[in-house]
Structure 1
Amino acid sequence: MKMRSKNPRAWYALMLTLAASAASMKAWAQDGAAGIQEADSQVRSYFEPGTNLMYAIGAVLGLVGAVKVFQKWNAGDQDTGKVAAAWFGSCIFLVVVATVLQSFFGL
Protein backbone atom coordinates (compact mmCIF):
# COMPACT_ATOMS: atom_id res chain seq x y z
CA MET A 1 0.00 0.00 0.00
CA LYS A 2 1.43 3.32 -1.04
CA MET A 3 1.29 6.25 1.33
CA ARG A 4 2.08 8.75 -1.37
CA SER A 5 -0.62 10.63 -3.21
CA LYS A 6 -0.66 10.74 -6.97
CA ASN A 7 -0.41 14.51 -6.78
CA PRO A 8 3.11 15.54 -5.60
CA ARG A 9 1.91 19.05 -4.69
CA ALA A 10 -0.60 17.63 -2.25
CA TRP A 11 2.16 15.48 -0.70
CA TYR A 12 4.47 18.47 -0.30
CA ALA A 13 1.65 20.60 1.08
CA LEU A 14 0.89 17.91 3.64
CA MET A 15 4.56 17.67 4.68
CA LEU A 16 4.82 21.48 4.91
CA THR A 17 1.68 21.61 7.05
CA LEU A 18 3.02 18.93 9.40
CA ALA A 19 6.37 20.71 9.72
CA ALA A 20 4.68 24.03 10.44
CA SER A 21 2.43 22.36 13.03
CA ALA A 22 5.42 20.79 14.77
CA ALA A 23 7.24 24.14 14.86
CA SER A 24 4.20 25.93 16.26
CA MET A 25 3.71 23.22 18.90
CA LYS A 26 7.31 23.65 20.01
CA ALA A 27 6.88 27.42 20.26
CA TRP A 28 3.60 26.98 22.11
CA ALA A 29 5.23 24.56 24.57
CA GLN A 30 7.99 27.07 25.28
CA ASP A 31 5.39 29.78 25.93
CA GLY A 32 3.59 27.33 28.23
CA ALA A 33 6.77 26.72 30.22
CA ALA A 34 7.31 30.47 30.51
CA GLY A 35 3.71 30.84 31.66
CA ILE A 36 4.17 28.17 34.32
CA GLN A 37 7.31 29.93 35.56
CA GLU A 38 5.44 33.24 35.71
CA ALA A 39 2.55 31.64 37.63
CA ASP A 40 5.04 30.06 40.05
CA SER A 41 6.69 33.41 40.75
CA GLN A 42 3.32 35.10 41.27
CA VAL A 43 2.13 32.42 43.71
CA ARG A 44 5.40 32.63 45.62
CA SER A 45 5.04 36.43 45.85
CA TYR A 46 1.63 36.01 47.54
CA PHE A 47 2.73 33.22 49.86
CA GLU A 48 4.48 35.25 52.57
CA PRO A 49 1.60 37.75 52.99
CA GLY A 50 -0.76 34.77 53.13
CA THR A 51 1.16 33.12 55.96
CA ASN A 52 1.31 36.45 57.81
CA LEU A 53 -2.47 36.70 57.39
CA MET A 54 -2.84 33.22 58.89
CA TYR A 55 -0.73 34.29 61.88
CA ALA A 56 -2.89 37.40 62.31
CA ILE A 57 -6.11 35.37 62.13
CA GLY A 58 -4.67 33.02 64.74
CA ALA A 59 -3.90 35.97 67.02
CA VAL A 60 -7.40 37.41 66.67
CA LEU A 61 -8.95 33.98 67.31
CA GLY A 62 -6.77 33.67 70.40
CA LEU A 63 -8.01 37.00 71.76
CA VAL A 64 -11.66 36.21 71.01
CA GLY A 65 -11.27 32.77 72.54
CA ALA A 66 -9.65 34.18 75.65
CA VAL A 67 -12.56 36.59 76.15
CA LYS A 68 -15.15 33.83 75.63
CA VAL A 69 -13.37 31.48 78.03
CA PHE A 70 -13.08 34.26 80.62
CA GLN A 71 -16.81 34.99 80.33
CA LYS A 72 -17.68 31.30 80.78
CA TRP A 73 -15.31 31.00 83.70
CA ASN A 74 -16.83 34.03 85.42
CA ALA A 75 -20.33 32.70 84.78
CA GLY A 76 -19.40 29.42 86.48
CA ASP A 77 -20.02 27.16 83.48
CA GLN A 78 -18.82 23.60 83.83
CA ASP A 79 -17.53 23.22 80.26
CA THR A 80 -14.94 26.01 80.48
CA GLY A 81 -12.06 23.57 80.03
CA LYS A 82 -13.54 22.14 76.83
CA VAL A 83 -14.12 25.57 75.35
CA ALA A 84 -10.61 26.69 76.29
CA ALA A 85 -9.10 23.57 74.70
CA ALA A 86 -11.13 24.10 71.52
CA TRP A 87 -10.08 27.74 71.08
CA PHE A 88 -6.48 27.02 71.98
CA GLY A 89 -6.40 24.08 69.57
CA SER A 90 -7.75 26.18 66.70
CA CYS A 91 -5.12 28.87 67.25
CA ILE A 92 -2.32 26.31 67.43
CA PHE A 93 -3.66 24.62 64.29
CA LEU A 94 -3.49 27.87 62.30
CA VAL A 95 0.04 28.62 63.45
CA VAL A 96 1.25 25.07 62.75
CA VAL A 97 -0.34 25.01 59.29
CA ALA A 98 1.26 28.32 58.34
CA THR A 99 4.66 27.19 59.62
CA VAL A 100 4.49 23.79 57.94
CA LEU A 101 3.42 25.29 54.62
CA GLN A 102 6.21 27.82 54.81
CA SER A 103 8.81 25.14 55.52
CA PHE A 104 7.31 22.73 52.96
CA PHE A 105 7.55 25.22 50.10
CA GLY A 106 10.97 26.39 51.27
CA LEU A 107 10.22 30.06 51.33
Structure 2
Amino acid sequence: MMKLCDKSSEKLHLMMKLCDNSSEELHLMMKLCEKSSEELHLMMKLCHKSSEELHLMMKLCDKSSEKLHLMMKLCDKSSEKLHLMMKLCDKSSEELHLMMKL
Protein backbone atom coordinates (compact mmCIF):
# COMPACT_ATOMS: atom_id res chain seq x y z
CA MET A 1 0.00 0.00 0.00
CA MET A 2 2.90 2.36 0.72
CA LYS A 3 3.95 2.07 -2.91
CA LEU A 4 0.45 3.09 -3.99
CA CYS A 5 -0.13 5.99 -1.62
CA ASP A 6 0.89 8.58 -4.23
CA LYS A 7 -0.92 6.92 -7.10
CA SER A 8 -4.11 7.94 -8.86
CA SER A 9 -7.53 7.10 -7.43
CA GLU A 10 -7.99 4.66 -10.32
CA LYS A 11 -4.96 2.71 -9.17
CA LEU A 12 -6.10 2.83 -5.56
CA HIS A 13 -9.51 1.55 -6.58
CA LEU A 14 -7.81 -1.35 -8.34
CA MET A 15 -5.72 -2.05 -5.25
CA MET A 16 -8.89 -2.22 -3.16
CA LYS A 17 -10.28 -4.87 -5.50
CA LEU A 18 -7.07 -6.88 -5.15
CA CYS A 19 -6.44 -6.57 -1.43
CA ASP A 20 -8.39 -9.75 -0.63
CA ASN A 21 -6.99 -11.71 -3.54
CA SER A 22 -4.12 -14.15 -3.75
CA SER A 23 -0.46 -13.21 -3.31
CA GLU A 24 0.00 -13.98 -7.00
CA GLU A 25 -2.46 -11.22 -7.86
CA LEU A 26 -0.80 -8.84 -5.41
CA HIS A 27 2.57 -9.55 -6.99
CA LEU A 28 1.04 -8.73 -10.37
CA MET A 29 -0.38 -5.50 -8.99
CA MET A 30 3.09 -4.46 -7.87
CA LYS A 31 4.31 -4.90 -11.43
CA LEU A 32 1.39 -2.84 -12.74
CA CYS A 33 1.45 0.05 -10.28
CA GLU A 34 3.59 2.20 -12.61
CA LYS A 35 1.71 1.23 -15.77
CA SER A 36 -0.70 3.13 -18.00
CA SER A 37 -4.47 3.47 -17.55
CA GLU A 38 -4.97 1.04 -20.40
CA GLU A 39 -3.03 -1.63 -18.56
CA LEU A 40 -4.91 -0.91 -15.34
CA HIS A 41 -8.26 -1.33 -17.10
CA LEU A 42 -7.01 -4.67 -18.38
CA MET A 43 -5.96 -5.68 -14.88
CA MET A 44 -9.46 -4.85 -13.61
CA LYS A 45 -10.89 -7.29 -16.13
CA LEU A 46 -8.43 -9.95 -15.02
CA CYS A 47 -8.56 -9.56 -11.25
CA HIS A 48 -11.08 -12.38 -10.85
CA LYS A 49 -9.67 -14.61 -13.58
CA SER A 50 -7.86 -17.92 -13.34
CA SER A 51 -4.18 -18.21 -12.45
CA GLU A 52 -3.51 -19.18 -16.05
CA GLU A 53 -4.78 -15.79 -17.15
CA LEU A 54 -2.78 -14.09 -14.40
CA HIS A 55 0.41 -15.77 -15.61
CA LEU A 56 -0.39 -14.55 -19.10
CA MET A 57 -0.93 -11.02 -17.81
CA MET A 58 2.48 -11.12 -16.14
CA LYS A 59 4.04 -11.89 -19.51
CA LEU A 60 2.13 -9.03 -21.12
CA CYS A 61 2.57 -6.32 -18.54
CA ASP A 62 5.59 -4.85 -20.33
CA LYS A 63 4.30 -5.42 -23.85
CA SER A 64 2.98 -3.02 -26.48
CA SER A 65 -0.51 -1.47 -26.56
CA GLU A 66 -1.35 -3.66 -29.53
CA LYS A 67 -0.71 -6.76 -27.47
CA LEU A 68 -2.74 -5.33 -24.59
CA HIS A 69 -5.71 -4.75 -26.90
CA LEU A 70 -5.41 -8.37 -28.02
CA MET A 71 -5.35 -9.53 -24.41
CA MET A 72 -8.55 -7.58 -23.76
CA LYS A 73 -10.22 -9.53 -26.54
CA LEU A 74 -8.96 -12.81 -25.11
CA CYS A 75 -9.60 -12.35 -21.41
CA ASP A 76 -12.97 -14.14 -21.56
CA LYS A 77 -11.94 -16.72 -24.12
CA SER A 78 -11.21 -20.43 -23.84
CA SER A 79 -8.01 -21.85 -22.35
CA GLU A 80 -7.01 -23.03 -25.80
CA LYS A 81 -6.89 -19.42 -26.98
CA LEU A 82 -4.99 -18.44 -23.82
CA HIS A 83 -2.35 -21.07 -24.54
CA LEU A 84 -2.09 -19.72 -28.07
CA MET A 85 -1.72 -16.19 -26.72
CA MET A 86 1.13 -17.35 -24.49
CA LYS A 87 2.95 -18.58 -27.58
CA LEU A 88 2.29 -15.28 -29.36
CA CYS A 89 3.18 -12.82 -26.66
CA ASP A 90 6.74 -12.37 -27.95
CA LYS A 91 5.86 -12.53 -31.63
CA SER A 92 5.66 -9.90 -34.35
CA SER A 93 2.76 -7.53 -35.06
CA GLU A 94 1.91 -9.53 -38.16
CA GLU A 95 1.39 -12.64 -36.05
CA LEU A 96 -0.70 -10.65 -33.57
CA HIS A 97 -2.98 -9.44 -36.38
CA LEU A 98 -3.40 -13.06 -37.41
CA MET A 99 -4.33 -13.98 -33.85
CA MET A 100 -7.00 -11.27 -33.84
CA LYS A 101 -8.59 -12.96 -36.86
CA LEU A 102 -8.57 -16.32 -35.06
What TM bracket, shorter-length normalisation?
Answer: under 0.3
Tell me the TM-score normalised to structure 1 length.
0.23
Tell me the TM-score normalised to structure 2 length.
0.24
Q: Which has the higher contact order (CA 8 A, sep 6+)?
A: 1
Query: Which structure has more helix as a fraction of its residues?
Result: 1
Larger radius of gyration between Structure 1 and Structure 2: 1
